[in-house]
C-alpha cells in the first residue's frame, strides 16, 4: 500500500465541457454513477505540473517535478462525490509506473513541457510515448483573464473542483479510492489558445461541440492519502 504523498499542484488550466450523462456512463465501472450539474455530466481536460512530490513528512526540497495532463469526469459512489480519471499523461517514467502499480491509475508516459511565456502565460505541450497506448497530444497556451474568486462561491466551480476523493478500478475489477486534502481553490477566469487536443479521441469520446468553460489556478498544496479498497 503506497504511503501518503505531499505535493503542490501548480499552473492549472481547467477546460470543462457539458456531456450527456449516458455517454459518460458507458465508460464507467458499474459501481460509479455520473454526477451531474444542470442536468449534464462533465468532462474536463487539466494540464498542470506537480511540484515537490514526495512521501508525507519528507522535506519539499527532496521532492520531484512531474508535469501532467489528465482527462476526467465527476462521479458518485454510494453517495460520495469524487473524480474519475480516464487518462493521466505524465513525464516521469518511475512516477508513471508507481501510480499504475500502487494507485491503479491509468497513467501514461509522455514527453511534456511547461514554461512561462514572455507575457506571463503558460505554454504547455504533451505528446504520449507510452508503449502500446493510443497516441494522444495536447498543446496550449493559457493564463488568467479576470479577477480571482473562490471556487466554493461559484456553483459550477464548486461542483467541478471542490472534490476530495478520486476513484479507480483495480485490475481485479474492485473499486478503490484515495482521499486528498487541500485548501479551497482560488480560481481566475481563463483564456486558452489550444492548438492540439486529441485526448477525447484517444479515450473513445467525440470532441464536444460546445466551447469549454475555463478556469485557471496558480495552485494548491496537497496531501494524498493511501489507496483503499471500497467495501463491497
* 84-119 per-position pLDDT tens digit: 999 999 987 666 666 666 667 889 999 999 999 888
Quick one: how many helices (H) and strands (E) in the chain?
4, 14
Report which secondary-structure segment, H or E, holds 23: helix 21-25
The rounded distance, in Å, linking the Cα atoms of 55 and 223 is 9
* DSSP code at position 67: E
Q: Which residue has the cell 505528446?
A: 127
Give the predicted TM-score (pTM) of the model. Answer: 0.95
* DSSP code at position 143: E
pLDDT > 90 in the chain, percent: 83
Q: pLDDT value at position 104?
A: 73
Per-residue pLDDT, averaged over 188-214, amounts to 97
Report which secondary-structure segment, H or E, holds 199: helix 199-202
Q: pLDDT value at position 100?
A: 62
5-225 homologous superfamily: Acetoacetate decarboxylase-like (2.40.400.10)
Per-residue pLDDT, averaged over 23-33, amounts to 97
Q: pLDDT value at position 1?
A: 47
Amino acid at each position: 500500500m503506497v504511503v501518503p504523498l505531499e505535493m503542490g499542484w501548480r499552473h492549472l488550466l481547467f477546460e470543462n465541457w457539458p456531456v450527456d450523462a449516458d455517454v459518460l456512463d458507458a465508460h464507467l465501472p458499474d459501481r460509479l454513477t455520473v454526477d451531474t450539474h444542470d442536468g449534464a455530466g462533465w468532462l474536463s481536460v487539466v494540464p498542470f505540473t506537480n511540484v515537490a512530490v514526495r512521501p508525507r513528512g519528507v522535506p519539499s526540497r527532496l521532492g520531484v517535478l512531474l508535469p501532467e495532463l489528465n482527462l476526467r469526469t465527476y462521479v458518485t459512489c454510494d453517495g460520495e462525490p469524487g473524480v474519475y480519471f480516464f487518462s493521466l499523461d505524465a513525464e516521469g517514467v518511475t512516477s508513471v509506473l508507481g501510480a499504475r502499480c500502487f494507485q491503479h491509475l491509468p497513467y501514461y508516459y509522455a514527453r511534456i513541457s511547461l514554461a512561462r511565456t514572455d507575457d506571463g502565460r503558460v505554454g504547455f505541450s504533451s505528446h504520449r510515448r507510452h508503449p502500446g497506448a493510443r497516441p494522444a497530444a495536447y498543446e496550449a497556451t493559457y493564463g488568467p483573464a479576470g479577477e480571482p474568486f473562490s471556487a466554493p462561491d461559484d456553483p459550477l466551480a464548486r461542483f467541478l473542483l471542490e472534490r476530495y476523493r478520486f476513484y479507480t478500478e483495480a485490475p481485479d475489477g474492485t473499486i478503490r479510492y484515495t482521499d486528498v486534502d487541500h485548501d479551497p481553490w482560488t480560481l481566475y477566469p481563463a483564456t486558452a489558445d489550444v492548438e492540439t487536443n486529441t485526448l477525447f479521441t484517444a479515450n473513445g469520446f467525440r470532441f464536444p461541440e460546445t466551447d469549454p468553460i475555463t478556469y485557471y489556478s496558480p495552485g494548491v498544496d496537497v496531501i494524498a492519502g493511501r489507496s483503499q479498497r471500497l467495501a463491497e
